[in-house]
Amino acid sequence: MSPALPDADLPWLGRAALFASGRDALVALVRWGAENRGWRRVWLPSYNCPEVPDALLAAVGGAVELRAYPDADLEAPPNLVSVPVEAGDALVVVNQLGVRPPSDAGPARRRGAAVIEDHSHDPASSWARESRADYAFASLRKTLPIPDGGAVWSPQGGRLPAEPEPGADAGARRAARLAAGLEGRHAPPAADGRLRFRALARAAAGSAEPTPGAAISPVSRALLPQMPVRSWREGRRQNLETLAEAAAPASGLRVLVAAEGGVAFALALVFDDAAARSAAQRALTARAVAPAVLWPLDPARDWGAGPADADLSSRILLVHGDQRFGAEDMRRLASILRDTLRG
């Protein structure tokens, strides 16, 4: 178990089990739940990172049935009342993009289902800190500058799956992730050389993904209790406010605003149509801004995705503005956003 943070930025950290990734944490929890709590079905939201169901299907698909429930409205609490859970089920609820208000999982728990929350996009939110779910997990490297890391904990004080034994693959992982981290202050450069560097860094990071089931690396375990999560999170909040002010007056799109007690993972823009999103994506990339799509979903390819999920994924675009960006970076990026979105 990791030591608790001195200022309680992540008050659950001291009682969490740590893994190499958030997917590993969830897989270990589901496998443990199937063996120890009789879980036979796991419900996942339809709008989700496709690697999550893929990892579960590969690891526990023979023992646990996966079901999807519709969840493509990111501006509302997850609608859990209509999910037909029963005893022996586990229901995964996700704070997608760090913008959602908490949902009432009480009805699901009263029907005998275990509730698992995913706080990867804002692990220090009030929802995460005050959770009453049976279990919760997070991919720590999504918001923290560490080479790897995932955590699972029980807000109810329940037993947890055991942490993996330390492995030998952390060195390559660390080197690639730190190389990718050199993108750091990546507001738009004057030339396109930085774009080529980013592509190389992302390729290196992707090729050094943790081996499934691996332990968290020693460097990440050592760094976690020392990180000023609260101040970094506040920096992200201020940076995203700057970007939102630049983007909000534009027509044909809306900005997803975090619920009270939350900080968005990135500036999330939802366009009225897919063509406008694609045009903005091309324009930003041409000026050396690297927007992201979370996630490009295709019902014919991605487990659980339906037409509403594909539609949202074709219209959403994220622009990052975390603690790596300084005030000058934000001014330059905001200017580019204004030119691109209002042009």
Return the closest-CA partner of residue 60 out of 42, 43, 47: 42
- Look up residue 221 and give its two tokens: 């375990």
Task: Give the pLDDT confidence score for residue 249 in this predicted structure.
Answer: 84
Q: How many CB atoms lie within 10 A of CB 251?
A: 8
Residues 6+ apart with CB under 8 A from 310: 297, 298, 299
Q: Sheet holding 267-271: strands in order across?
A: 253-255, 267-271, 316-319
Q: At 285, is the secondary structure helix, strand, or coil?
A: helix
| 3-state SS track over 10-26 | CCCHHHCEEECCHHHHH
The one-character DSSP state at 102 is: P
Cα–Cα distance, 46 to 306 (Å, whole number): 7
CA 305 to chain centre: 17
pLDDT (0 to 100) of residue 183? 44
Report the chain's terminal Cα–Cα distance, integer Å: 52
Query: Cα-Cα-Cα-Cα dihedral of 167, 223, 99, 251, to 10°?
Result: -100
Query: How many Cβ atoms are within 10 Å of 52's Cβ, its own excluded?
Result: 24
Predicted local confidence at residue 209, as pLDDT: 59
Task: For the beta carbon of residue 38, count every other beta carbon within 10 angstroms.
Answer: 11
**pLDDT digit of tens for each residue in the chain (343 aa)?**
444 444 468 999 999 999 999 999 999 999 999 999 999 999 999 999 999 999 999 999 999 999 999 999 998 998 899 999 999 999 999 999 999 999 889 999 999 999 999 999 999 999 999 999 999 999 999 999 999 999 999 999 999 999 999 865 554 555 555 555 544 434 444 434 444 444 444 444 544 555 678 899 999 999 999 999 999 999 999 999 999 999 988 899 999 999 999 999 999 999 999 999 999 999 999 999 999 999 999 999 999 999 999 999 999 999 999 999 999 999 999 999 999 998 6
Q: Are 315 and 274 in contact (CB under 8 A)?
A: yes
Of residues 230, 229, 264, 226, the one with CA closest to residue 247: 264
Examine residue 232 and say whether the peptide bond preceding it is cis (omega within 30 degrees of 0): no
Nearest CA-CA partner of 304 in 79, 52, 104, 77:
52
Q: Give 249: exposed, middle or buried? Use CB within 10 Å, 0-12, 13-18, 19+.
A: exposed
Nearest to 65 by CA among 77, 76, 56, 74: 56
DSSP strand pairing (114-118 vs 41-45): unpaired
The reported pLDDT for the residue numbered 9 is 85
Q: Is 100 helix (H, G, I), strand (E, B) or coil?
A: coil
